[in-house]
Chain A
Amino acid sequence: MASTTITNAPNPNRRALLATGFALAYVVVAVLALILVDRNSLWYPLYNVFAYSMYVLSPILIISLPIPNPIKFGGLAILLLIVTPMLGIYNNSYMEIAVQICIFAGLALGLNIVVGFAGLLDLGYVAFFAVGAYLWAVFTSTSETVFKLNGWLVPGEMFWVFLVIGVFIAAFVGILLGLPVLRLRGDYLAIVTLGFGEVIRILARNANDPINITNGAQGLIGIGKPPVPDLLHGITNEAIRIMSLRVDNPGFVAQQLLFYLIAVGLLVLIIVISRRLEDSPIGRAWTAIREDEVAAKAMGVPLVRMKLAAFATGASFGGAIGVLYAAKQAFVDPTSFVLLQSIIILAMVIVGGMGSIRGVILGAIAMTLLNLHVLTNLSLQLNALRNVNFIVPIIDFPIRNWPNQLEPAKYQPLIFGLVLVLMMIFRPEGLMPAERRKLELKAEREESAGLDEQAAPQPKGDA
C-alpha cells in the first residue's frame, strides 16, 4: 500500500542479514528446546510454557524480517509444512495447539474484515462459525437426526465439497442478516448481531423437536472426517520411524496431521484473501466507511453493498473454518457457539491490533496459547511440585501447604481477565497495530494528555 513508510536504516542489507541470523537462531533454539527436553523432569510444564510459546511465535518473526519475499515465504513454508508437523508427530499436543491456533486465527481474520476493515461491530460472529460447523455435522453425524433416518448422510470424502458449500452458505446467512440491519449504526448493530448469534445458538439447541435436525443439547456425535490419503499415512509412519517414537496409533496421528495441513492451508488462503481485499478499491471503500460514513457515501461508495460484502466475506471465512472445526472435533454441540466465544474472537482482533492482519494473527496466537497452553501448564507445574513435595527455597515454603483453594487452575478466568485489562491499558493499539491505526491513536493520545479532544479533527464551523 502506498502508505507504508520505508525504514531508512543506514545499511539495510546488513540489518536484514543480522535480523535473519537472529531469526534463524531463534527458530533453531526453539526447536531444540522442544525436542531435547526430558518430558519427565519436574519443571517440564513451566519449561514447556516458554519453549512452545517461543516456537509458535516464530512465523510472526519470520514474516516481519526485512528480506526478499521468496526467501521469507520459503522459510515459512519449511517451518509450517516440515518442522511443525515433525514436532507435532513427536508430541501430539503441539499439533493440537497449532490446529487450534489456525482455527482461531482464521475466525479472528474473518471478524477482522467486518470489525477491523469495515468498522462494523459484530458481536455475533460465532453464528457463522456455527453455520459451517452444523452444516458438515448434520450431514455426517451418526446421531439419530432426520438426516440419518432418511439416509441423507454423505461420506467423509465430501468434506472438500462441503468446505466450499460452507463458504457460500455462511456468506448467504451473512447477507440475510445484513440486509435488514446494516442501516443501523454502531452499537445498534452490535446488539442485533449479538442477538443473531444467540438466535443461531438457540436454534441449534432446540432444532431437535418436533423434527430432529441438530440433536439439540445432546450435540451431534461421530461427525465424518476427510479420509487420510495414503501418502500422508506413509509420511507419518516414516516420520515416526525416523524419530524412533513409540506411537500407539499412527493412524490417529496421520489424521491429526491432515487436519493440521487443512487448517494451515485454509489460514493461508484467508490471509491472502484478506491482504488482497485490503489492498484494493474494496478495502479502501471499507476504510472510508469506517472513518466517515457520510463522506464515503457522498463520494460514491455504495454503503449497503460494501457493508454486505464485508459481512459476507467475514461470514464465509467463519463458515469454512466451521466445517473444519466440526470434522476435527468429531462432535458439535451448542455450547461451542456461545456469546463468550464471539467475544473472545473479538478480543483476539483487538488485542492483536484491529485491521492489522499480522496483529490479528498474533492476537489469536497469544490468546489461544494463554488459554490452552500457558495457564494449563502453570497449573500442571504447581501440581507436579506438590506431588514431589517441593519446598520453595529461601522462604522454605512447602508447596504442599499451598491451599487447595488457591490452585491456579481455578483462577483461569480471573487471570485471563486481568491479562486482557493489562494488555489493553499498556498497548491500547494492540500488539501489532496496523500502520494506519498506530498514527491515528498516537495523535489522539498525545492530545488527551491535556484533556480529551473529540476524536475527529477539529470541526471548523458548524451548522
Chain B
Amino acid sequence: MGAILTVTNLVKSFGGIAAVRDVSVNVEEGSISSIIGPNGAGKTTLFNLLTGIYKPDSGSIMFNGQSLVGKRPDQVNKAGMSRTFQNIRLFPSMTVIENVMVGMHSRLKISLFDAIVRTKKFYEQEAHVVEKAHRLLKFVGIDEHANEISRNLPYGDQRRIEVARALASDPKLVLLDEPTAGMNPQESTEAMNLFRKIRDELGVTVVLIEHDMRVVMGISEYIAVLDYGQKISEGTPNDVRNDPRVIEAYLGRRTTSTEAAQ
C-alpha cells in the first residue's frame, strides 16, 4: 500500500513563533501512526494545518491524490480526513446521536427545498442517517447513551462520542489528538483496542498524538517525533525509543526505564 498522506516541507508561524518548521511526513494507507513530541512542539498545529483550520505559510499536503492546501475544513472533511480535538469539542447540548449525525453532514445531499417539502429522498436519507449513527455508536460502545445530552456524559464517553463523530463522515483517515489524555490505564487500554478496531474493521488509517508512551508504543507502527516545530526523529517504536535525541528532549530517562520494565 502507498502513502495516503504526504506532507512536504510544511511551515506555519504565529507572529514570531515558528510552530511548525519544514515538517515532512508520510502516512501509509491502513497504518496506525503516532506523532509525539514535547509540549508546544507543534503537533496540534500540524493537525490544524492538515484539517484546514489554519492555512500553512508554505509547504504541500497531498491527501489521497489531491492537494489540501487552501481547502476549508469542511472541504477537507469531505475529502476524507476527519479528526478529534485535544480539548473535547462536542456540541454540548445536542444528544449523543445528534452529535454523530452532524458528523455525517458532508455526506448528505439535502437542500432547503428537500427539508421544507419533505421529499421522499429526505425521508430515506434521514432513516439511513439514524441507522448509521446507531451503528457507529455501537461500534464505539455507547449506543445505550444515544439519546442523552452529550455534556452530561463522563469524560471517557465524551471521547468516544468524538471518535464516533469523526468516523461518521466515512473518512479514509482520522486524526486523534491526545485521545487518551486524562484516562486511567485501564481505560486507555480499552481505547487502544478501539483504535485497532477502527483500522482493522473499518479500514481507516489512524494518526494519533499522544503523550502516554504505553499507548504510543503499544499500537503505533510508525512514529514521528517533533520538537520545536521540527521533525527530530521517525521510525518504528523501537527506533524512536532508543533515539538519544528523543530520550533527551521528550522521554526522559525514567520513563524509558519504567516502560522497559513493563
Contact = CB atoms under 8 A, between A and B. Distances in A.
Q: Is any CB of A less than 8 Å from a CB of B in the complex? A: yes
A299 B102 contact: yes
B89 A295 contact: yes
Contacts of B155: 460
Contacts of B83: 298
Contacts of A443: 151-152
Contact of A287 (B91, B107, B149, B152): B91
A303 interface: yes
A282 B115 contact: yes
A459 B74 CA distance: 24
Contacts of B260: none
B110 A281 contact: yes
Contacts of A288: 91, 94, 102, 105
B97 A2 contact: yes
B87 A280 contact: no
B74 A303 contact: yes
A301 B107 CA distance: 10
Given A2-B97, A288-B102, A300-B105, A295 B181 contact: no
A300 B103 contact: yes
Interface residues of A, number: 40
A292 B103 CA distance: 13
Contacts of A282: 110, 112, 115
Interface string A284-328: 110110011011111111110000010001000000000000000
A242 interface: no
Given A299-B165, A436-B94, A460 B147 contact: no
Interface string B144-179: 001101011001001000000110110000000010
Given A3-B147, A297-B74, A459 B87 contact: yes
A437 B93 contact: yes
A181 interface: no
A281 B98 CA distance: 10
A309 B105 CA distance: 15
A88 to B, nearest CB: 30
Nearest to A437: B93
Given A277-B115, A280-B115, A281-B105, A292 B73 contact: no
B86 interface: yes
Given A2-B98, A273-B116, A281-B101, A298 B93 contact: no
A302 B114 CA distance: 18
A295 B125 CA distance: 23
Contacts of B114: 280
A439 B151 CA distance: 10
Given A288-B94, A295-B89, 19 more contacts: A276-B115, A276-B118, A280-B114, A281-B110, A281-B125, A283-B115, A285-B102, A287-B98, A295-B85, A297-B72, A299-B74, A299-B105, A300-B104, A300-B106, A313-B112, A443-B151, A457-B88, A463-B39, A463-B40
29 contacts: A2-B98, A3-B94, A277-B116, A281-B101, A281-B110, A281-B125, A284-B94, A284-B101, A284-B105, A287-B91, A291-B91, A291-B94, A292-B90, A292-B91, A292-B92, A295-B89, A295-B91, A299-B102, A300-B78, A300-B106, A300-B169, A302-B72, A439-B93, A443-B152, A456-B92, A460-B87, A460-B182, A461-B182, A462-B87
